[in-house]
Structures are given as C-alpha cells and as structure tokens.
C-alpha cells in the first residue's frame, strides 16, 4: 500500500476563487458608484452646465486618477511597480463600498495577486499616502501666496509650505509611514525608496492635485463665475487637504464643502460653492468609472504618461 499523498491546493481552484472574489468586489464597487452617481446627479442642477467645460473637467480628473497610480508605484520596488499600478486601477471602485477600507484592502490584495508581497504593497501604500500629504501641503502653501488673499490665508499658506518642504525629506516620510503601518499592525516598511523615488511620487501627486483643482475651477466658473481663478485653486487645494486628513469622513464628504464655502464666501454664496463641489464629485465618479472600465478592458494596464517634473 502506498503512502497517502498530502492534499495540495489546486491552482485552478485557487484561480477560480480569486476570479470570483474579484468579480464580486468589482460588481459591488461598481454598483455603489452608480448609486452615488445617481444620487449626486439628482441633487445637481444640470441647466447651469456647459458640455465643453464638463468634458474638459472630466478629462482632468481622469488624468488625476492615472497619476494616482504613479504616486503609489513610484515608491514601490522596481519589480512591483507594474503590480502596484494594476492593483490601483482594479481597486478604484472599492472607495464607494461602505466601510472606508475596501479600496486600500483592494489595492494591496490586487497588487499581491499580481506579484507584489502583501507587506511590500502595504508599505508602498503607506508611503504614497505620506508623499501625497506632503505634495498637498506644498501646493496649498504655494497657491496661498497667489492673488489678493486675506492675511490669515497667506499665513496659513506659509505654514503649509514650510511643513510641506520639511515633510518631503525621505527620513521623515519613512518614519511617518512606519507609524502609519504600526496602526494597522503591519510593522516597519519592508521597502525603503530612495530620495529620488520619493521626489517622483511627490511630483506625480502635485500634478494630479493641480489637474483636480483645474477641474473644480472649470466647474466653478460655470456656477459661480465671480470667483477669481486663484481663489478657486487655493480654496480647493486647501479643502482637499483638510478632507484628506479627516479620515473619519469618506473622501472628505461634508468637510471639503464646509471649507470651500468658508474660503470662497467673499465671492459666492455657499449654495453655489456646494453645487460646484457636488458637480466635481459627480464628474469624479464618472472619471473613475471610465478608468476602471478601461483597466478591465485592457487587462488592468491603462496607459499613463511619462515621469513628470515637479511644478
């Protein structure tokens, strides 16, 4: 009698289970995104919109989404960059699933499935969150010095700029990422990118936020044309920054609108500002759904631009 062989997991069965999980995840995220889009569109007054600016704004947000993948991939190990980008695109719709953590879990899971280690993917994600914050601080601080800003806005901008320039140092970013990982019980970062990779990630984040602010400026020009362009950019970047650090609020909902209404109150009524923010969110959902569908059609690899220089 031959000795019984140990049971082994079938690669086919494992692949099938993964396809099922991915299909369920994608379907759930897509469904919740459509519901969010439907709810936002219902509350939006489409009569004040022009088709041209809306299309250009959507294209800007698509560019921001593509650059978002580069923000994460820039601080990933070279051999895992492709997996990081694919994981980002595949998990985009996860942000619309109630719970708040599904996009991050999806990014890590998809990247690990495509060849990255779980710990490495988690480390790169934590690092990208810190580089994004540093980029937002620098951009918000820079914009606060443009135009006829109130004294307190300029002061806050100077503080933001100093904090951002101080935060771009590699050692501080790695320390912050290590603390973030300890919160989710992942230990120290398993991958330590160079200062050049950190700079690349920050540059992608700054260009992405600039495109995102341009999209909001286009929408605001339709609904509140009295707002100067520099005020629109400054207010949106500052509001996005506050919403980014307000972790209990998914995508900064409510927080961003409150900050925008306060900063832009000298030029427009809060109702017009909130309507512009709502329109921006609607177009963001459309843009992210387009990128998600494009990634599914092309196997998770939509084309992205070449490495940018920091603005």
Hey, what are 215's tokens?
């999209």
Which distant-in-sequence residues (6+ apart) come within 8 Å of 189 by Cβ?
Answer: 123, 126, 127, 174, 177, 178, 181
C-alpha radius of gyration, the chain, whole number: 21
CA neighbor of 292 nearest in space, from 15, 28, 19:
28
Residue 14 inside a domain? The answer is no
Confidence of residue 63 (pLDDT cuts 50, 70, 90): very high
77 located within any domain: yes
Q: Does residue 213 carry a pLDDT above 90? A: yes
pLDDT score at 1: 43
Give the pLDDT band of residue 83 (cuts 50, 70, 90). confident
Report pLDDT digits (tens) over 4-62: 444 444 445 556 676 777 778 778 877 877 887 777 777 776 656 788 888 999 999 99
Residue 44 placed within a domain: yes
Is residue 225 packed enough to be buried (19+ CB in 10 Å), middle (13-18) or exposed (0-12)?
exposed
**Domain presence at residue 21:** no
Mean pLDDT over each residue of the chain, to the nearest integer: 79
Residue spans of alpha helices (H) in 168-248: 170-183, 195-223, 229-245
Instruction: Flag whether 4 is in a domain.
Output: no
Does residue 238 lie in a domain region?
yes
Alpha-carbon distance of 211 to 70, in angstroms, equals: 14
Residue 24 lies in a domain: no
Q: Is residue 127 part of a domain?
A: yes
Which pLDDT score is estimated for 3?
46
Span 195-208, pLDDT tens digits: 888 889 999 999 99
Let me know: does 28 contact 97? Beta carbons within 8 Å: yes
pTM for the structure as a whole: 0.81
Instruction: Specify the number of domains making up the chain.
Output: 1
Helices (H), the chain: 11-42, 51-74, 81-90, 102-113, 118-143, 151-167, 170-183, 195-223, 229-245, 255-263, 270-297
- pLDDT of 251 higher than 60: no
How sure is the predictor about 218, in pLDDT bands with cuts at 50, 70 and 90?
very high
Token pair belonging to 119:
């710990």
Q: Which pLDDT belongs to residue 2? A: 45
User: What is the length of the chain?
Assistant: 311
Chain segment 150-184, per-residue pLDDT in tens: 888 888 888 888 888 887 777 777 777 777 666 65
Write out the residue range of the structural domain in which residue 194 sits. Answer: 32-297
């Amino acid at each position: 009698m031959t000795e019984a062989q140990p049971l082994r997991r079938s690669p086919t069965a494992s692949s099938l289970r993964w396809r099922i999980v991915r299909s369920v995840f994608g379907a759930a995220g897509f469904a919740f995104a459509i519901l969010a889009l439907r709810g936002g569109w219902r509350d939006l007054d489409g009569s004040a919109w022009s088709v041209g600016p809306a299309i250009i704004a959507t294209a800007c947000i698509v560019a921001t989404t593509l650059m978002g993948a580069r923000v994460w991939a820039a601080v990933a190990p070279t051999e895992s960059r492709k997996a990081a980008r694919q994981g980002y695109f595949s998990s985009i719709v996860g942000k619309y699933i109630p719970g708040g953590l599904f996009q991050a879990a999806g990014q890590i899971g998809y990247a690990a499935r495509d060849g990255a280690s779980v710990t490495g993917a988690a480390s790169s994600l934590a690092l990208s969150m810190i580089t994004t914050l540093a980029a937002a601080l620098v951009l918000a601080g820079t914009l606060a010095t443009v135009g006829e800003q109130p004294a307190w806005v300029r002061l806050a901008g100077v503080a933001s700029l100093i904090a951002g320039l101080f935060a771009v140092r590699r050692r501080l970013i790695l320390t912050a990422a290590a603390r973030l990982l300890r919160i989710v019980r992942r230990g120290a970062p398993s991958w330590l990118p160079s200062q050049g990779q950190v700079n690349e990630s920050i540059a992608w984040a700054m260009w992405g936020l600039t495109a995102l602010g341009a999209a909001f400026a286009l929408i605001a020009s339709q609904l509140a044309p009295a707002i100067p362009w520099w005020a629109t950019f400054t207010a949106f970047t500052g509001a996005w920054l506050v919403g980014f650090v307000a972790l209990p609020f998914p995508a900064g909902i409510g927080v961003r609108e409150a900050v925008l209404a306060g900063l832009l109150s000298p030029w427009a009524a809060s109702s017009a500002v909130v309507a512009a923010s709502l329109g921006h969110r609607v177009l963001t959902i459309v843009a992210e759904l387009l990128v998600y569908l494009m990634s599914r059609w092309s196997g998770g690899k939509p084309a992205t631009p070449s490495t940018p220089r920091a603005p």
